[in-house]
Amino acid sequence: MRLLNNNKTIALKVITGIAIYCAFAISNGYGQKVVKETIVMGAQGTSAAEGGFLDLQQLKLYDVNMATLNQGGIDLAYTYGKNTGINFMSPSSTAFKSFGQRYREIVFEKWNDKNKGTLIAIEGGNKEMRKAYRKVKSRDDLIELYKKAAGEVVMREGYNRLRHGPGARITRLKIGDLVVFRSVDRDIYAIGQIVNHEDGYSGSVTVDWKAAAGN
């Protein structure tokens, strides 16, 4: 009987230890799930086939009208510029006033919940960061990748703040480039690689996203 009780005690301690470890791991980001999705985001033109506003927690896309009903869940948007090409912006960016009447009047002037986010662009020729992107498996990986990108971006040859970030908007991206993102308000980290682009105000950009939210 004593042996049986001892075995039960040992088993209970093991289970308790596992539970504590799991709770610790989750609280530190080890257990956070990375969601992956290829998403086609439409530009600001009224005839764009896809919406241009993205919820990175759910990897769900909205057009400007539906995004307005879900302002608190929007992390970034895609817009096209004749001179700036592919643009990504967080809702807090003042650049929404420069991308047509709809976006100016609806988002820039009327949105009350404008989530803050920081974007960093990495050229597709950066082999080290491309390799890091492919290896992303956890939220911790995304956090480390973001920190590395933020620490190195200003030292890049040909650095331009509007082009490369860090900031609420990045511009002139190309196919193959990486987009690194941190949501200040929603504690989300993400990275995406641009895999296709159709020019124009009703065109689109296709991005392979990896993202993870906090607790």
Q: What are the pLDDT digits (tens) for 102-125?
A: 999 999 999 999 999 999 999 988
Instruction: For residue 145, give both structure tokens.
Output: 């990748």
Average confidence (pLDDT) over 165-193: 97
CB atoms within 10 A of CB 90: 24
Q: Which of 5-19, 88-102, 152-166, 176-190 has the lowest mean pLDDT?
A: 5-19
Question: Based on the domain organization, do 20 and 100 belong to the same domain?
Answer: no
What pLDDT was estimated at residue 7?
Answer: 52
Question: Based on the domain organization, do 19 and 111 belong to the same domain?
Answer: no
State the chain's mean pLDDT as an integer.
89
Question: Based on the domain organization, do 102 and 203 belong to the same domain?
Answer: yes
Average confidence (pLDDT) over 54-75: 97
- 3-class SS letters over 71-129: HHHCCEEEEEECCCEEEEECCCCHHHHHCHHHHHHHHHHHCCCCCCEEEEEECCCCHHH
Percent of the chain with pLDDT over 70: 85
Question: Based on the domain organization, do 7 and 65 belong to the same domain?
Answer: no
Question: What's 204's DSSP letter?
Answer: E
Question: Based on the domain organization, do 4 and 78 belong to the same domain?
Answer: no
Q: Into how many domains does the chain fold?
A: 2
The alpha carbon dihedral of 27, 117, 122, 156 has a sign of negative
* Residue 114 domain boundaries: 35-213
132 pLDDT exceeds 90?
yes
Instruction: For residue 169, give both structure tokens.
Output: 């908007």
What pLDDT was estimated at residue 8?
Answer: 53
Question: Based on the domain organization, do 23 and 110 belong to the same domain?
Answer: no
Question: Based on the domain organization, do 189 and 132 belong to the same domain?
Answer: yes
How deeply is 85 buried, as exposed, middle or buried, from its count of CB atoms within 10 A (0-12, 13-18, 19+)? middle
Question: Based on the domain organization, do 71 and 170 belong to the same domain?
Answer: yes
